[in-house]
Chain A
Amino acid sequence: MKPAPFDYVRPGSLGEALQALAGHAEAKVLAGGQSLVPLLSMRLAAPAVLVDINALPDLDHVRVDAAGVRIGALARHARVLADPDVARVQPLVTQALANVAHATIRNRGTTVGSLVHADAAAEMPMILRLLEGSVDVVGPSGRRTIAAEDLYVGPLESSLHHDEIAVEAFFPALPANTGVAFAEIARRHGDYAMVGVAAVVTVEGDQITSAKAGYLSVSDVPVVVDLTETLQQGGDPGETALALLEPETDIHATAEYRAHLVRVLTARVLTAAVENAQERV
């Protein structure tokens, strides 16, 4: 299990990096590499060029303000997870990050890298979708912001162009009266979840004014379901969600079991998110 040969550049500036990408249709960006390198070693991917962005300056930031959390392309999961301001301003990011693989992987893997790897079984793309965040990318024609809902276009496929580099992700701050919760069930601790669900719920007094849930591992792309109406009408949120999800059978779980977990976890995270919202009133 050794990677096929590739050319390698380690640019010192974003401009150089973009140039390197522009020159090769089969170039890949290397940041943390925790998803990419296994694919290379198994020869499931064989890019002609790797553009290693680890030497780029000023991309390892985690900036938090009232609007939300801005995470640079070279900020490692561990750093984001450990940031108390992130946990304060957008606790769902912290809760979800704690479930990303194992600590050693989080020491190297980057949050932005995980977002643009666009794995529907991974935690962070779903969280970005649920929180309606965005990713800033830079390409030959300059910088643009891709809203999360436009980012995920297919299985392991984002709307980034091959000559663009994701430089920053933005997770909006959690508003007042709003609570969050995250739960996932994996075969082993640290594995990709069989099902994961996160919820964001806003309350006014005893009333739920908004409730949304995000799902991982039960669809090709991260899916967010608006459960507000269902809850307001006393419906079954799990069933509402399942109508939009496509749980499949694999070696770890049947589609039926995944659907069951969707129901169980949806109920659990909604309850927890409501409680959390009420604490934040």
Chain B
Amino acid sequence: MTTKLMGTKVQRVEDDRLVRGTGRYVDDVAPDALHVAVLRSPHAHARILSIDVEAVLDIEGVHAVWTYEDLDGAMAEPLPLLIPHPTLTHGRTQYALAKDEVNYVGEAIAMVVADNRYLAEDALASIVVDYELLPAVVGIETARAAERLVHDDVPGNVAARMEQSNGDAAAAIAAAPHTLSLDLAIERSACMPMEGRGVVAKWDADNGRLQVWSSTQTSTGVRAAVAAKLGLDLLKVDVITPDVGGGFGVKINHPWPEEVLVPLAAMRLGRPVKFTEDRREHFISSAHERAQLHHVEVGFDDDGRVLGLDVRFWHDHGAYTPYGLIVPIITSTQLLGPYKPGAYHVQFDSLYTNTVIVTPYRGAGRPQGCFVMERTMDAIAASLGKDRAEVRAVNFIQPDEFPYDHGLIFQDGRELEYDSGDYPAMLTKIKDLVGWDEFEQFRAEMAGQGRRVGIGLACYVEGTGVGPYEGAHVHIETSGKVKVATGLTSQGQGHQTAFAQIVADELGVRFEDVEVTTGDTRRMPYAVGTFASRAAVMSGSAIHKAAKKAKEKALRIAAEALEADVEDLEIADGVVSVRGTDASIPLGTVAVLSNPLRYAFDEASKAATQFSVGDPGKPPVAEGDEPGLEGKDFYSPPRSTFASGMHAVIVETDPDTCEIKILKYAVVHDCGHLINPMIVEGQIHGGVAQGVGGALYERMAYDESGQLLNASFMDFLMPYVTEVPTSIDIDHLETPSPLNPLGIKGAGEAGVIPGSAAFAAAIEDAERLSITAMPISPSELFALRQAASTNAGETP
């Protein structure tokens, strides 16, 4: 009997190659490739008056140097605006190589192809560009003031203004017994995967095919973009996503300039060409996220129940809008979290600045939304003198209220309707896990030692598993091995393992016999991509369905071969048998029988000769049937699943140095049924660490002229082991989703979402100072203490 693998901590199949150093990342393929280096704008805002590449052409080892002038056809058009929206009235995207104007430090201007990266970088130094400098727009306040414009034809620097309501929030607030207003800010950060972007292309002139490897979160997206930009038939382009060294969102945007320039160079030069982004480039030419300013008006009753909530916010999307309004739309909808305000109104402006573009970073607008909502909850509790957990509890959607419709439209264009959850149970769990009710005693003990501690709590709901669809192909070979393909890509989530668990369970084959391929358009050309915590839900469900189809066919053929009823068959360890008898047939043999060949090749074929299937009076492949033992299916849900979680943190702040230390971090998490708890917990760990980074360390420090001052790992402070909690206490709650066959919800982004909210609450609790902007550094905490003591001094 095969043991059920769903829900068990199966060790990852990916690891063997990765710990041996035999994984294949994009820079590892095509060792004979020519290398690309890109000249990037040193100015945040400038007109390009002229570019002189003359000197480059004489450099030995240089094969090509291109500027915008060298592009034609679709390549000379702006890059696509991937996700248009009716309210995105002034969307703008950049050119693959800048045309006439640059709008951020790092924007691609020219490209050199050389024997190696060293020579290519040498050549960049010989390109002479004449710029006319324009004033830069940096920061939300500057963009909002609109005294100068990023794009001449975008008034007010406003790309989009969007508004949604459920009920009459203004009236509800006006009528409420209590009101508060808050201004809340979150700064820029970035995904910062350990591997930057990268792309390799080979033009196969013999076959007229283009092969592209990209470190992307969507190989099908890149494929379509490359075909469109280069004017190739889609079927002439293959895109392969090899091992990817982390994504966290930044690799979902596509095509990056290099993703179309490198294939074009490979075709024009007839040689393999490679671009490997370096760390400085990643800082200034990939994407950032998070910067938003928010103004909240809230009305509530004596219990802290929110009667009306009105949120106005401003989103800094950088110089262009290739990824549309996904991030602010998510903030505007997901800030509601597990709560049900009496009425809600939200409005945001998405603003241009002369900085790197903004596309989703793990959490994608939710950390900001969670920060806004949870700070509001804490402020309500403080104003009423109530326990912060109690105020949350009175606002929760109750377990019997699912499905719960918020009356809003979500990022996928569907209703914001929560599928399932149990927030009161979750609150009980997190309070127990962190020791919420015992905290005052702990605080007193610590105060006795001259130490200052605080506790914070933050709750969130995360729309996961958004559509439109994913597909899967399951192929049982005559060896009995099962080859599975799904189109979305992997960046460390252990998909090869988790998906193999699903297949092994459904088909009744050994886990070791299942091999999963992701992100290879040759194997599965229909796919969307890996983002929005959707892979497990979407591809997991598709794989489950495809495996089920393969199984149905296997059982149908086996029943014929074994002269038994399908209902009497079972599959275990890759063998179909008739329950209660010795009669059996290996799946590999069924695979042979499924394909009525004229020729026999192997032992499996010989073994199959003992069985007889098919009606001699009918065609060997019956009408409506296909040769081969395969299953292919797609999963396309009506709307997203909604995972949820609550984090609590205890911090200590140093009364002298303002250093902030994490004493305890607790997580309760509900992503429905778990496929592999080990992988889910790993995702939470990583998310929490990024949450710590976002709350206490990481920010993009732009100066007024638009120079990024900390474009290195020296100064962009990603946490080392010494900055993360020494342990993360995790408890799970499993409220299955009714929307998919496995009852799963996504888990990828969860860990990061409530970080800033929870830390702000804990620091506020320790310091008795209002925390309204994150991240916060010791230096900033010092400034807050100074301001508070100055104010206290002035108050009689």
Contacts and interface: CB of A to CB of B under 8 A. Distances in A.
Nearest to A264: B656
A1 B278 contact: yes
Interface in B756-796: 777-779, 782-783, 786
Interface string A230-263: 0000000000000000000001111011001100
B778 A188 contact: no
Contacts of A189: 720, 722-723
A188 B280 contact: no
B777 A187 contact: yes
Contacts of A261: 657
A252 B720 contact: no
A252 B659 CA distance: 13
A251 B710 contact: yes
Interface stretch (B14-22, B115-123, B163-171): B115-123
Nearest to A267: B656
B709 interface: yes
Interface in B95-127: 117-118, 121-122, 125
A36 to B, nearest CB: 15
Contacts of B659: 185
Contacts of A191: 714, 717
Contacts of A45: none
A140 interface: no
A61 B450 CA distance: 46
B777 A252 contact: yes
B715 interface: yes
A192 B712 CA distance: 14
A4 B37 CA distance: 14
Contacts of A2: 117-118, 121
Contact of A251 (B118, B657, B701, B786): B701
A173 to B, nearest CB: 32
A265 B701 CA distance: 27
A188 B723 contact: yes
Contact of B783 (A1, A192, A254): A254
Nearest to A1: B278
A108 B715 CA distance: 22
A187 B697 contact: yes
A162 B559 CA distance: 87
Given A187-B697, A188-B719, A254 B779 contact: yes
Nearest to A42: B280
A187 B717 contact: yes
Interface string B720-733: 10110000000000
B481 interface: no
A142 interface: no
A257 B658 contact: yes
A122 to B, nearest CB: 13
B161 interface: no
Contacts of A256: 782-783, 786
Interface residues of A, number: 25
A192 B701 CA distance: 17
Given A1-B279, A4-B122, A260 B720 contact: no
Contacts of A155: none
B122 A253 contact: no
Contacts of A192: 714
A127 to B, nearest CB: 21
A5 interface: yes
Nearest to A260: B782
Contacts of A4: 121-122, 125
A261 B701 CA distance: 22
A257 B280 contact: no
Interface string B128-149: 0000000000000000000000
A103 B376 CA distance: 44
Interface string B538-579: 000000000000000000000000000000000000000000
B782 to A, nearest CB: 4
A57 interface: no
Given A252-B777, A264-B656, A257 B783 contact: yes
A192 B279 CA distance: 20
A12 interface: no
Nearest to A183: B657
Interface string A21-43: 00000000000000000000011
A190 interface: yes
A142 B701 CA distance: 48
Contacts of A185: 657, 659, 778
A188 B697 contact: yes
A256 B722 CA distance: 26
A194 B279 CA distance: 24
Contacts of B658: 257
Contacts of A3: 118
Given A185-B659, A264-B657, A253 B779 contact: yes
Contacts of A265: 657
Nearest to B659: A185
Nearest to A189: B722
A3 B659 CA distance: 38
A249 to B, nearest CB: 9
Interface string B694-705: 000100010000
Nearest to B278: A1
A188 B117 contact: no
Given A1-B280, A261-B657, A252 B722 contact: no
Interface in A126-171: none
Contacts of A1: 121, 278-280
Given A185-B657, A190-B722, A253 B717 contact: no
A4 B122 CA distance: 7
B281 to A, nearest CB: 8
B120 to A, nearest CB: 9
Contacts of B125: 4, 43
A257 B118 contact: no
Given A1-B121, A188-B719, 19 more contacts: A1-B280, A187-B697, A187-B717, A187-B777, A188-B722, A189-B722, A190-B720, A191-B714, A191-B717, A251-B701, A252-B715, A252-B777, A254-B779, A254-B782, A256-B783, A257-B778, A257-B782, A257-B783, A264-B657
16 contacts: A1-B280, A2-B117, A4-B121, A4-B122, A188-B697, A188-B717, A189-B720, A189-B722, A251-B709, A252-B777, A253-B779, A254-B779, A254-B782, A257-B658, A257-B782, A265-B657
Leading 4 A-B pairs by shortest Cβ distance: A189-B722, A257-B779, A253-B779, A251-B701
Interface of B: 117-118, 121-122, 125, 278-280, 656-659, 697, 701, 709-710, 714-715, 717, 719-720, 722-723, 777-779, 782-783, 786
